[in-house]
Amino acid sequence: MEVISLIRDARKIILLVSPFIKFHPRVVDALKTHATRNDLKLRILCGKNDDQISKSLSYETVRFLQGFPDVEIRHESRLHAKFYASENASILTSMNLYEYSMNHNIEAGVLFKPKLLLGNSTTDQHAYGYFEQVYTDADLIYKREPQVVTSFGGLRKKYSEPLVTHDELDKYYQKDDWPYQAAPAASNYSSSGGRNRTYSNHTRGGNGDEGYCIRTGAVITFNPRRPLSSDAYYTWLQFQNEDYPERYCHRTGRESHGRTSYRHPILD
């Protein structure tokens, strides 16, 4: 897959622009090859869900990203486009950087091999410049950067422990939602870690009892505010119709024959 190659081959910058982000294990593995590099900039832009960014950027993904030495996370509520780039290549595509999309959806995209430093006016340069501006104008919610302690004539740098210089994550991810603490080093992150969790297990309002996804019937944590499994929730997000007829009762798992919905997940 081209996006995997783009990430692996990057040497200076990785720019990932996607409204919804939950990394596929192959994306995790590709990013982990840069986990200890102080000289590579990792730039993340997610979108939608202005009031609850956790719906656009998964908890596990945030914790993974916190382990990189030079990383920024930004949010733009109007974002719908998907664009992935390094200094060597860029991809303009229909695919969200989301595990479900990579596994199940039919997607299309255009791969560019730009020469960003030559100054020639090309389609790929215009695309990169546009998304770079979109990224710069977006709201910064997290920034961690390496600290240079010595430089040998500009040829070689020595770094100290990276420093978090901007952090608004607690505005969007409540401390009782997830273990909000310094993330483990990205190189120690398991590419399969958290893959089968549902977002319901990490959200407020649940009482820890067993419930059921109203679309698939899968067992999840009982929480009427979050009655869908993570994969079902992602498909629901594309239309966000709270009254769309669903198939199961969130409390009992009984077939509802369209009498349940996101707004009314429990049979009377």
pLDDT at 74: 96
pLDDT at 93: 93
pLDDT at 198: 35
pLDDT at 185: 60
Task: Please list the ranges in the chain whose pLDDT falls under 70.
Answer: 114-121, 151-156, 174-208, 230-231, 234, 238
pLDDT at 196: 35
Domain 2-188 CATH class label: alpha beta
Cβ–Cβ under 8 Å, residues 158 and 135:
no
Cβ–Cβ under 8 Å, residues 91 and 108:
no
Shortest CA distance to 134 belongs to which of 45, 53, 6, 43? 45
- The answer to pTM > 0.75 is no
- Cα dist. 37→63, 80, 157 in Å? 17, 30, 12
Domain segments of the chain as ranges: 2-188, 199-260
pLDDT at 20: 93
pLDDT at 177: 46
pLDDT at 26: 93
Query: Torsion angle of alpha carbons 18, 65, 169, 207, nearest 10°?
Result: 90
Residues in CB range of 100: below 8 A, 6 or more apart: 22, 230, 231, 234, 235
CA atoms lying within 13 Å on the CB side of residue 86: 18
